[in-house]
């Protein structure tokens, strides 16, 4: 890291700590934090509130004594209050910048870094296959193809309609009879036929989130059915999020075209349709598709997203429950671009590094607090 790089990181740390970082600056800091565990621990050392407070008090006291000697006793009280605020702000700036530069220039062996107390169980490929009679079996590996020779239970082998469920903490890839690939996120349930027959290919997304890469077949349109909405395609790539406990169904098109049954509108690449389950209305807008499809590539990407939305994803990925001590915290916005880690505490550590929020874990429950 060059001196210029160190100065840049120091500046980002200050902006994040004081809540002034733009979404782009937050993303820059997140990328540096996720490069290695050492960076994250280093950040927490720099912004340790106890250290800052004690040093800030000493700094402010020293400077105020010198400054007040030059100020008339007739100075208004509000001027003194304003000066105190400015002094504290400047003290925080100087302490953070100095500490950042000092620690960033100081080589610290990584083996001395302690592991964070938080721990979220890693995600794993897992899914359960069922038939209409509720016979079921766990699927081995990370992918199932209906054309594979995986030995199924006799009752499942004879079933024409199958149901696959990916529980919390899991993800799975399904290959349908026509070669269509379906990547299923945590808490996702899909009903599909063993073999597509007739003049259409129809599956049902009961609940959850899935990314479809549909095989082209002009003679047989591919239909994703949901109790609120149908999507019709010929050959395309798109993501649909339709969790039962959420108010909206969000469809994001990456390639091809999708027709919506709600208003007969046709989505073009880069467009997103948001269907409101209560009002039955659909809003279409142009979006950055990476924000909504990055999960398939093992990344969590969000831009000016509500904390509640971010933690909902983590709740599903790592099978934990988040409890907020204040409702207001849910609406705080964050930006980031990070990996799905084997240990999800790294993601929480990066969120904590913004200086806004803190997490306290008790078994599978994580309490969300303001810093």
Predicted pLDDT of residue 140: 75
Predicted pLDDT of residue 99: 47
Predicted pLDDT of residue 202: 95
Comparing 19-28, 261-270, 274-283, 322-331, which segment has the lowest mean pLDDT?
A: 19-28
Position 207 pLDDT exceeds 90: yes
CA 329 to chain centre: 16
Predicted pLDDT of residue 343: 64
Mean pLDDT of 16-42: 76
Predicted pLDDT of residue 272: 96
Comparing 47-56, 198-207, 356-365, which segment has the lowest mean pLDDT?
A: 47-56
Mean pLDDT of 31-41: 76
Mean pLDDT of 339-348: 72
Mean pLDDT of all residues belonging to the chain:
77
CA distance 237 to 297: 14
Decide which of 296 and 354 is more confident.
296
Q: Which residues have C-beta within 8 Å of that of residue 16, sequence separation ≥ 6?
A: 25, 26, 29, 353, 354, 355
Per-residue tokens: 99: 């500490």
Residue 91's φ and ψ, nearest 5 degrees, are: -60, -45
Predicted pLDDT of residue 175: 93
- Give, in order, the Cα–Cα distances in Å from 284 to each of 249, 250, 262, 324: 12, 10, 12, 32
Mean pLDDT of 328-338: 86
Instruction: Tell me if the pTM is above 0.85.
Output: no
Decide which of 20 and 108 is more confident.
20
Mean pLDDT of 61-69: 44
% residues pLDDT > 70 (the chain): 72
CATH class entry, domain 298-370: alpha beta
Position 48 pLDDT exceeds 70: no
The helix/strand/coil state of 282 is strand
At 88-146, the pLDDT tens digits run 444 455 445 554 544 455 444 443 333 344 556 666 678 888 877 777 888 877 888 87
Predicted pLDDT of residue 138: 82
Comparing 40-49, 100-109, 248-257, 292-301, which segment has the lowest mean pLDDT?
A: 100-109
Position 353 pLDDT exceeds 50: yes
* DSSP string of 75-139, one letter each residue: --HHHHHHHHHHHHHHHHHHHHHHHHHHHHHS---GGGPPPPS---PPPEE--EEEETT--EEEP
Identity of the highest mean pLDDT range in 74-78, 99-103, 260-264: 260-264
Predicted pLDDT of residue 150: 56
Predicted pLDDT of residue 66: 46
Q: Which CATH architecture has domain 124-292?
A: Sandwich (2.60)
Decide which of 330 and 82 is more confident.
330
Comparing 147-161, 228-242, 307-321, which segment has the lowest mean pLDDT?
A: 147-161
According to DSSP, residue 357 is labeled E
Position 63 pLDDT exceeds 50: no
Position 220 pLDDT exceeds 90: yes
The residue ranges of every structural domain in the chain are 3-112, 124-292, 298-370
Predicted pLDDT of residue 158: 58
């Amino acid at each position: 890291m060059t001196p210029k790089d160190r100065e840049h990181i120091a500046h980002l740390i200050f902006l994040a700590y004081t809540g002034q970082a733009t979404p782009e600056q937050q993303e820059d800091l997140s990328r540096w934090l996720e490069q290695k565990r050492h960076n994250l621990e280093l950040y927490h050392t720099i912004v340790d509130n106890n250290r800052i407070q004690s040093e800030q008090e000493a700094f402010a006291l020293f400077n105020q004594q010198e400054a007040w000697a030059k100020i008339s006793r007739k100075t208004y009280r509000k001027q003194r209050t304003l000066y105190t605020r400015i002094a504290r702000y400047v003290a925080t700036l100087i302490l953070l910048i100095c500490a950042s530069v000092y620690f960033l220039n100081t080589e610290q062996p990584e083996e001395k870094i302690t592991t964070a107390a938080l721990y979220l169980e890693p995600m794993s490929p897992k899914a359960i296959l069922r038939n209409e009679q509720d016979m079921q079996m766990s699927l081995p590996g990370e992918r199932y193809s209906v054309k594979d020779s995986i030995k199924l239970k006799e009752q499942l082998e004879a079933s024409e309609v199958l149901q696959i469920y990916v529980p919390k903490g899991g993800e799975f890839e399904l290959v349908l009879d026509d070669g269509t690939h379906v990547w299923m996120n945590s808490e996702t349930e899909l009903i599909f036929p063993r073999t597509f027959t007739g003049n259409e290919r129809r599956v049902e997304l009961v609940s959850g989130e899935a990314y479809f890469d549909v095989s082209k077949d002009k003679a047989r349109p591919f239909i994703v059915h949901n109790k609120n909405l149908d999507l019709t395609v010929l050959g395309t790539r798109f993501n649909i999020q339709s969790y039962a406990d959420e108010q909206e169904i969000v469809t994001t098109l990456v390639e091809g075209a999708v027709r919506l049954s709600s208003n007969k509108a046709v989505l073009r690449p880069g467009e997103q349709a948001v269907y409101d389950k209560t009002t039955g209305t659909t809003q279409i807008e142009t979006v950055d598709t990476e924000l909504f499809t990055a999960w398939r590539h093992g990344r969590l990407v969000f831009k000016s997203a509500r904390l509640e939305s971010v933690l909902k994803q983590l709740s599903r990925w790592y099978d934990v429950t988040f409890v907020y001590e204040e409702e207001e915290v849910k609406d705080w916005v964050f930006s980031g671009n990070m990996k799905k880690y084997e240990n999800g505490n790294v993601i929480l550590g990066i969120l904590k590094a913004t200086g806004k929020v803190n997490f306290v874990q008790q078994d599978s429950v994580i309490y969300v607090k303001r810093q």
